[in-house]
């Protein structure tokens, strides 16, 4: 059995099309078998709070706690990670990204060791593909409305029919976009969700959702501030459509179930800290009878591949999901990026994640993580970086 001999981290920066530049950290698990290396990704670190990891120090720490583990010691790997980087109960806490990158790399390594796909190691695929909802980011200025409408048109031509619409800053522009989109594209598009991203209180979010209900949408996401479980309950009682919320800790999942606060769990591999803890969230959802979707912070192809394997293997994933990162960035770091066909995401071929790092692409994006020329507002709304 191959044993981990070194953990190697590489920080990279990848611009989004007409948007901010996002930092990521690539994880490589080198082993005593030269033919076996596990790869993972600490994805999209450009979220509040505005600080970055000390990558050399983190690399030294991970080597200290992980070197010597064999490829199949996933339970022990998780125990060590949780002991050093405990769940903080916040969706953008940096510890969840650290754990996620390492956890993905271990699953990739273990599956490669056995010559199977990650989804097979998770119990086998229960579906061949999952529909993806393309994100439409918030309207902040008058010109954003037409720009976003044009994006819907382009993605519709590529086969995407589900769209996730971020709202909550300029509600007047949000409403204009929604009504114009329905008038222009009719029933060719399905608005999977209005995503308030915890920006409004439940009363304000519900009032807007009711005002545009005639436009038609399938669910409402995050219609209350962070950890406002009473607000979520109020929204679920008031609105006729399902309510969804991100699940970023075991305690939060149990609280949501105990209060019967939501209909849908948004389970992001990175938000919960990896594939291993994500399985527990899906188990809680199954037991509670909650539907699930696979969420995202918009990863590169390695993180997106991990999300795809999870989506294929978890029976609770019955709602169109969100990972489209490889379409948002101007460049990737693998030889064959994740692909979308007719708005569907499938599992890449090959053992493990089915991903191979491209040294030239990695080199082109490598560099120190930085918050230079990025404002807090740009981070929240995924807007163009400040000059």
Determine the Cα–Cα distance for residues 349 and 343; give it in Å rounded to an integer.
Answer: 18
Query: Exactly one of 51, 90, 92, 217 is catalytic; which is it?
Result: 92
Q: Which long-range contacts (CB under 8 A, 24 or more apart) does 143-147 make?
A: 144/173, 144/177, 145/173, 145/176, 145/177, 145/180
Is residue 92 flagged as an active site residue?
Answer: yes
Determine the Cα–Cα distance for residues 368 and 54; give it in Å rounded to an integer.
Answer: 10
Determine the Cα–Cα distance for residues 146 and 136; give it in Å rounded to an integer.
Answer: 12
Q: What residues does 26 pair with on adjacent strands? A: 10, 41
Q: What is the DSSP annotation of 155-221?
A: HHHTT--EEEEE-SS-HHHHHHHHHHHHHHHGGG-EEEEEE-TT-S-HHHHHHHHHHTGGG--SEEE
Query: Exactly one of 166, 217, 248, 329 is catalytic; which is it?
Result: 166
Contact 93, 257 (CB under 8 A): no
Contact 346, 129 (CB under 8 A): yes
Whole-angstrom distance between the N-terminal and C-terminal Cα of the chain?
51
Q: Which residues are catalytic?
A: 92, 166
């Amino acid at each position: 059995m191959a044993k981990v001999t070194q953990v190697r981290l590489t920080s990279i920066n990848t611009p989004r099309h007409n948007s901010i530049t996002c930092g990521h950290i690539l994880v490589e698990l080198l082993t005593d078998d030269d033919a076996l290396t596990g790869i993972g990704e600490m994805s999209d670190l450009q979220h509040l709070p505005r600080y970055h990891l000390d990558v050399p120090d983190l690399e030294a720490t991970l080597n200290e706690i992980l070197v010597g583990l064999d490829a199949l010691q996933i339970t022990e790997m998780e125990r060590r990670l949780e002991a050093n980087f405990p769940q903080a109960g916040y969706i953008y806490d940096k510890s969840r990204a650290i754990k996620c990158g390492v956890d993905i790399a271990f699953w990739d390594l273990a599956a490669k060791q056995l010559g199977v796909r990650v989804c097979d190691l998770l119990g086998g695929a229960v579906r061949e593909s999952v529909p993806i909802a393309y994100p439409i980011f918030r309207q902040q200025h008058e010109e954003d409305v037409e720009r976003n409408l044009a994006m819907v048109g382009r993605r519709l031509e590529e086969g995407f029919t589900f769209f996730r619409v971020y709202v909550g800053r300029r509600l007047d522009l949000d409403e204009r976009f929604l009504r114009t989109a329905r008038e222009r594209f009719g029933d060719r598009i399905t608005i999977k969700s209005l995503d308030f991203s915890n920006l409004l209180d439940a009363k304000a979010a519900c009032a807007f959702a009711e005002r545009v209900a005639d436009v038609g949408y399938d669910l409402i996401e995050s219609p209350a501030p962070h950890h406002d479980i009473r607000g979520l309950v109020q929204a679920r009682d008031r609105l006729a459509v399902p309510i969804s919320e991100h699940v970023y800790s075991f305690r939060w999942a149990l609280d949501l179930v105990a209060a019967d606060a939501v209909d849908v769990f948004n389970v992001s591999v990175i938000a919960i800290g990896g594939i291993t803890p994500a399985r527990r969230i899906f188990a809680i959802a199954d037991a509670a009878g909650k539907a699930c979707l696979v969420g995202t912070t918009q990863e590169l192809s390695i993180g997106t591949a991990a999300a795809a394997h999870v989506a294929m293997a978890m029976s609770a994933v019955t709602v169109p999901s969100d990972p489209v990162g490889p379409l948002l960035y101007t460049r990737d770091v693998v030889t064959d990026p994740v692909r979308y066909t007719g708005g569907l995401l499938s599992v890449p071929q090959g053992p493990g994640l089915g991903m191979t790092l491209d040294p030239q692409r990695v080199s082109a994006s490598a560099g120190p993580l930085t918050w230079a020329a990025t404002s807090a507002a740009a981070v929240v709304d995924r807007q163009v970086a400040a000059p």
